[in-house]
Amino acid sequence: MKKRGRIKFHKLKTWWLVVILIPLMFIDATLLRLGHLKMIELRTAVLTADENENDEEIRESLERLKEYVFSNIVINIVDDNGLKRITFGTGPFYLEHQYIRAANEELERVEASLSGDSNPNGNIYQMASDVCRPQAIANGWTWNDPNYINCMMGEIQKYPAMDDLQDIVVATLPSKELYRHNYASPLWAPTFTGFMLLLTLLIIVVILIRAIVWLILRLSLLFLR
């Protein structure tokens, strides 16, 4: 039976393989597109949970996204400093609202430490607020806007309550990298999409081998004349 199967496969004409390859490549592209859309859906759920400021929902949606990406072939196009490039996975994305909440908690702690009567510069937090609040109103910044946070931190650092306060404030702010995620997918996975891609690759290899053999035979016939 194996021998008959091999004979039948060898009898397949090359142009038949080309005809099979064309719709097969269309199917592959469709499956990869569906995988990309599924990843976008799961990633959007994470960002929506971040906007809703629901940490438990963020954790659960991140787990669903990570589980899907790690077990499927996900092709994505990301912006790398203005240049588009193809990558396998989600590409980098940020939980901006979660970071802002954490940064604001640190600002509140800084406010409490800087508003005491023992501070020789007075209420530094209030001074910073007096400078940044008009800018926030003029630019439409909200209290949790990153621009407002950066303005406040810049003003606070101009009036340290102690010599090392500037370094302490910067050190206590959470790192933005903690809120940056980038999940990579495998180049191949044992899924329906993966096996269809494998079949496509096999047909392409057979077509290339037959083309090379045909070319070699044609060249050898030319030299034998």
Q: In the structure, what pLDDT confidence band is assigned to residue 30 with cuts at 50, 70 and 90?
A: very high
pLDDT in tens, 128-177: 778 888 888 788 776 667 788 788 777 777 765 544 455 555 556 777 78
The mean pLDDT value for 87-101 works out to 88
Mean pLDDT on 107-133: 65
Judge whether residue 6 has pLDDT over 70. Answer: no
pLDDT given for residue 163 in this prediction: 46
How far apart CA 157 and CA 151 sit, in angstroms, is 10
- Report the chain's mean pLDDT, rounded to a whole number: 80
Q: What is the pLDDT of residues 181-216, one digit of tens each?
A: 999 999 999 999 999 999 999 999 999 988 888 888
Sign of the Cα pseudo-torsion (138, 139, 144, 147, in order): negative
pLDDT digits (tens, 9 = 90+) for 39-48: 999 999 999 9
7 — pLDDT class (breaks 50, 70, 90): very low
pLDDT of residue 160: 56
For 96, list phi and psi in degrees, rounded to 5: -65, -45
Taking CA 84 as the corner, what is the angle to CA 83 and CA 88, rounded to the nearest 5 degrees? 135
d(Cα 197, Cα 92) in Å, to the nearest integer? 26
Q: Is 70 helix (H, G, I), strand (E, B) or coil?
A: helix
